[in-house]
Structure 1
Amino acid sequence: MRSLYMFIFLLFAGTVFGQNTVSGVVMDGDLNEPLIGATVMERGTTNGTITGADGTFSLNVSTDAGTLVISYVGFESMNAAFGGERGYSLGDMVMATDASSLSEVVITGVMDIVQDRRTPVAVSTISSKEIQAAAGNVEFPEVMKNTPSIYVANQAGGYGDSEVFTRGFDQTNTAFLLNGQPINGMEDGKMYWSNWSGMTDVASAVQVQRGLGSSKLAISSV
């Protein structure tokens, strides 16, 4: 019985002394901030952990000396050797951004432009040449004042106070699109022309659609 107790004690002691703890902090080299959720693995094993909210980690390893592999999405993996003492600290480990892993993102937009004689919608198109000729020193809405069913009211206030009425409806009932994207005010639906003062210099065309029609790109409007 005494031999059995001695054997169990020695086995337990061997297990305890066979473990070693390695700790450290994983940092973002660009922002100089801790990396949360970085993967820390003991090379050649399935033993690993992840960094906490402050970028720190503590891993029980099976050997007194070895290598940790640290990885994180968008960063170059790095190797960190440990050994020499128990409770080994690797200190701050700075990871560099892996530019090769960042793929190009292409965003494609489609403008819902009516084609003359091909779409049953009342439409008027103002070319860039006509825009430049009509612009002068007036605000951009003045370019559309000669368009059928369009009335432009220029208030006596400051720049950008013009209003565009389409068939009698004010701007809150009209959808204004820039390259297919709505630009009406998000809260009240109004159009603030002072935000688009340089439109006359860059617009290649202005298209006014009136009456019954449909658009894939904006909410319903009169």
Structure 2
Amino acid sequence: MRNTTYRKPFRLLLLLLLFPFCASFAQTITVKGVVKDTAGELIIGASVVELGTTNGTITDMDGNFTLKVPSRGKLAVSFIGYQSQNIDISGQTQFNVILRDDTKLLDEVVVVGYGQMKRSDLTGSVVSVSSDAIAKSVTTSIDQVLQGKAAGVQVQQNTGMPGGSSSIRIRGISSLNASNEPIFVIDGVIIDGSTGSGNDNALASINPSDIVSMDVLKDASATAIYGARAANGVIIITTKRGTKGEASIAYNGYVGWQQMPVKLDLLNLREYGILKNERAELGIVQKDSYFVRPDLLGNGTDWQDELFNSAMMNNHNLSVTGGTENNTYALGAGYLNQDGIAVGSGFK
């Protein structure tokens, strides 16, 4: 009986000693931080969640977040196209989170007018052309990149001159009087899509080798983002950017020749004189004094050989990318010289 009486106060004292430790273990603190990518760009809309719970938030326009969590918990930070990170809080209140690109998910991400979405979550009609498909094509302007690579997109050249403009139609013609050309959005900058008029092509000044991806918005949702001028569709172009790390130098180029694949099988001068005389005897045409003795005539001039020739084409591209924690850079230079098959034409 005496032993029991002494044990009760001892247990009560032990509980009182352990109470502050338990209270400190479950203490809730406010953590703040910023989320960036490896290039130092702020990530807007990144998910920051207390691991294992529904307690979370997203980053604001400046990439910042604020969240109340237990001091011994963990944070799960994620964003589309990037590798997720689990971070031990360990009583810290300030975090600088760097998310790395997830190359396995990049092909599943589609750039739309209001950000980026997973292709599985996208409800609108979008066609994408990857950088691999662009690299395999031999084009002189970005409008030619879409030719034969995007379903529902028709690209027709207005002229055979190198560097000439093209008419782009997304799901057919929508107007008989107004323009039917889509608009181009290059890294957020809107460019008028009137490439279908005349021989000059403003888009020919943009190097196709600088393009990472092209996404074509084909449905009516494009007008909700860019207004009535996007009624004919929107072509969103994303160009290359610098990445953190040592300077990386890349070169690609090619040299080629172009020529007429097939020549028209025409009569030479002697054969034409014989045919002209035969038609004159039948009364179809008048007699011509130039062909009195066609057997004395030579082969004449082959105007196909005079007007068309084998044309040389040079294309060289050099790029330098790199950066530090705070700054990144991407420099590129390209040289294109395409002689036209027709005499007097070319693009440089």
TM range (shorter): 0.3 to 0.5
- The structure with the greater share of residues assigned to strand is 2
